[in-house]
A and B are shown apart, each in its own frame.
Chain A
Amino acid sequence: MNQDMAEPILQMDKTSKSFGGVQALRDVSFDVFPGDVLGIIGPNGSGKTTIVNCITGFVKPTSGRVYFKGEDITGRQPHKVADLGVTRTFQIMRPYYSLPAYKNLVIPLFSPRAKRTGGWRGGGRLGNRQTIAIDILEEIGFERDSYIPFKKTSTLPTGYLKRLELARCLALKPEIIICDEVFSGLSMSEIASMVPLIQRLQDEGITIVMIEHRLRELFQVANRVMVLNFGQKLTEGTPTEVMADEKVKEAYFGSEEVEEVMIYA
């Protein structure tokens, strides 16, 4: 929160990424401080997901560096980045469809990091993974009484799958969660129940980076917002500053009378 006090936990330094002739990112730099909720917004195709992929090692940046707690993690393999506690969710959910929901969490709980840290709540000790998995799921909103944790993942509605994505990160006892559009595809009431969850994670000291299109809900939780357009950083600031920025309005709507639209967005 207090940017003068703290060292940035995550730093992106002049990172570029091009896929063939398409330049997805162009010299993007930003810092994330411990306890932050940083929102990244931008029109479709502006390179938001590429940022996530560059940080978590799913793609290698063409140039530039990524630092986690001052350590260079550029181009490290995804599992090594996750092992440091930099976790992500996927925009298109990637659960293990053939397993019941709670067994989805056995996999992150089996990772070296979870063994070291003991999972989300664990103090370094890991008990029965399936029991812990059900506890984590219940805590993030799977109703144990209606046997939802035991249902096959392929039968669950989107809202639960999004939570399952978050739960996979939490099982690793993360330092940072990078949420790639956790609100998209959810109904209004599902989003409404998701917002307190994000706030709770923030209270627990987890740094959160949120990529989002749902601006209204994002601005409820984010303390800083970065705007991307065509792979370039447009601006960065508090939600109110960003809302007022002319460049942002132009990037999103290309017109002037946008104020009402943004309010109803």
Chain B
Amino acid sequence: MSTQKLRKERIDRGIKVRSDGLYALMSLRELSYLTLPRFVLIAGMLSLPFLMPDMYWQRVISIVCIYAILALSFDFLAHYVGLVSLGGAFFIGTGGYVAGILNSYYGIPPVLTVPLAAIIGGAICTLMLLPCLPLKGVYFAIVTLMYPLFMARIIEAFDLFGGTDGLAGIDSFSSAFAEQYLVICTVLIFLFGLRRFVTTDMGLIFTAVMDNDQAVKASGINITKYKALAVFIASSAGCMAGACLTHIYMWSGISQFALDFSILPIAATVIGGAGTLAGPVLGCFILVPVSELLRDFGTLRIVFYASVLVGFILFRSDGIMVFMQRKYEQFERWTKI
């Protein structure tokens, strides 16, 4: 056994340092270093509908994107506002039902129902979550977990909106192409929009609420207002995803309140990297297709799926995104101590 001790040293790559701040404008190389990851993501996502071999996988793309929007909204709420929300299913279900009702009762076309569902659904979710906003951490998580169960049972018990059969015969999007590009663009807009938003002055308020809400109160800022705003942003994203789901399946029903929609985004956030916003999207692009590929194994699927998750939590708990970012920005070498 060698007694020599080695330590891994991480040093920023020269190009990373050179592309910090204004210096990035100096040369094309620095500029492309900065834009390459973003370009790969955008180009990759936009070309996905062409790369997929058949209808089945094209449909998977849409589902991935719907989960990705949910994961984004979870990551934003949990790591930028400090509200750990298990209400993904609540958002999806509310958005899905709003879109379904608008379409089948009032005949509004999908072009309008999706944005309307985002706004109306977001408002409904925010209003219903308003009493829970003073709660923090695990208490908020538990309450938000109750909401989808509660909504599903109410619809079932009072036989509202078609009861257990749900609302069938809802219009689909005009083409598979329109459907995929709508969800892909929504993911991209929310991803880059939120990334920009959290660094603005108003975005800082959210981080401050997460860090220390007493100090925000002492600064003369109404924290309930900002928490409600954050919940509105996150829930309208979720409701928009739900509306897309309704139109994709041409049906909305109580299975849209299924807890999958609450749990999978969290798993994706863990795998992708918490607090990176891009990470959860990446996580969805891994988890959902993996779960599709494992369909042949029947019920064993869950075992594989769970092993992947446990593996990630044990060995790469900071997430793929953080890992990749480190590799992109720094190099490592062994040094003697």
Q: Which residues of A contact B (CB under 8 A)?
A: 56, 58, 77-79, 82-83, 87-88, 90, 94-99, 103-104, 106-114, 129, 168, 171-172
Contact = CB atoms under 8 A, between A and B. Distances in A.
Contacts of B202: 110
B220 A96 contact: no
B201 A87 contact: no
B207 A98 contact: yes
Contact of A79 (B201, B204, B208, B221): B221
Contacts of A171: 219
Contact of B220 (A82, A90, A95, A104): A82
B220 A99 contact: no
A129 B205 CA distance: 13
A79 to B, nearest CB: 5
A95 B217 CA distance: 12
B299 interface: no
Contacts of B219: 79, 82, 107-108, 111, 168, 171-172
Most chain A Cβ neighbours within 10 Å, of B205, B208, B218, B223: B218
A241 B220 CA distance: 37
A50 to B, nearest CB: 15
A240 B126 CA distance: 57
Contacts of B217: 58, 77-79, 82
B215 interface: yes
Contacts of B223: 79
B255 interface: no
B307 interface: no
B222 interface: yes
Most chain A Cβ neighbours within 10 Å, of B214, B217, B220, B223: B220
Nearest to B219: A108
B216 to A, nearest CB: 6
B212 interface: yes
B211 interface: yes
Interface in B212-246: 212, 214-223
Given A106-B204, A110-B201, A110-B204, A94 B220 contact: no
A77 B204 CA distance: 22
Contacts of A108: 219-221
Interface in B117-176: none
Contacts of A83: 220
B218 A168 contact: yes
A94 B209 CA distance: 12
Contacts of A56: 218
A30 B222 CA distance: 29
Given A96-B208, A99-B204, A79 B215 contact: no
Given A106-B201, A107-B205, A96 B211 contact: yes
